[in-house]
Chains A and B, each alone.
Chain A
Amino acid sequence: SQTIHQWPATLVQPVGSPLSLECTVEGTSNPNLYWYRQAAGRGLQLLFYSVGIGQISSEVPQNLSASRPQDRQFILSSKKLLLSDSGFYLCAWTTDGNQPQHFGDGTRLSIL
């Protein structure tokens, strides 16, 4: 069966520090991969998605970036974090078509 892993589960970082969040998927090949952010009490905002290795689409301008160095690995990065980057970051995967997206357990990021 397919599984998705995100780490770390929680992270506290100072303003201006770099960020690297990792997401990996097991049990499937060539998935579509997604990064979402959820602010407290709000819905999910799509940040990036990828349909293949090295292919990244950005939905919202920001100081974050994403990379997909391997088929089942998706990384969210920042060179300098802002206070507004605080939130709950979720990775998701799906196959093509009408199949649902499946989410990881998320990373709760707090910026101090």
Chain B
Amino acid sequence: DAKTTQPPSMDCAEGRAANLPCNHSTISGNEYVYWYRQIHSQGPQYIIHGLKNNETNEMASLIITEDRKSSTLILPHATLRDTAVYYCIVRDNYGQNFVFGPGTRLSVLP
């Protein structure tokens, strides 16, 4: 079973920031938080991951709360092409399985 909880769907206006929340209240100390997205009929695309510090790359920012029980993926300026299902996953160094739950279906609206 997935160790994360995400809202099933969200809307965001084009050009605005999209903030996607994820709860992982049972996360353990050696588990990382990963974010992927999947556009229909394509394989999941890796976005970003982190352990406890906030992370930023060319695609997004990841904000992890101090207690690490939740995180937020931020797409700073959402475009129509960011419409996808976004998955939040927790996994440790030794686990082989990335458990994908239902994710959040983000719709970017013009």
Contacts and interface: CB of A to CB of B under 8 A. Distances in A.
A51 to B, nearest CB: 8
Given A43-B2, A101-B98, A106 B43 contact: yes
B91 to A, nearest CB: 8
Nearest to B42: A105
Contacts of B2: 43
Indicate the size class of the contact surface on chain A.
Answer: 20 to 34
B49 to A, nearest CB: 6
Contact of B96 (A32, A98, A103): A32
A102 B43 CA distance: 9
Contacts of B41: 88, 106, 108
Nearest to B35: A100
A102 B2 CA distance: 19
Interface stretch (B10-18, B68-76, B100-108): B100-108
10 contacts: A43-B87, A44-B44, A46-B96, A46-B97, A57-B96, A90-B44, A92-B98, A96-B93, A98-B32, A106-B43
Interface of A: 32, 34, 42-44, 46, 49, 57, 59, 88, 90, 92, 96-98, 100-106, 108
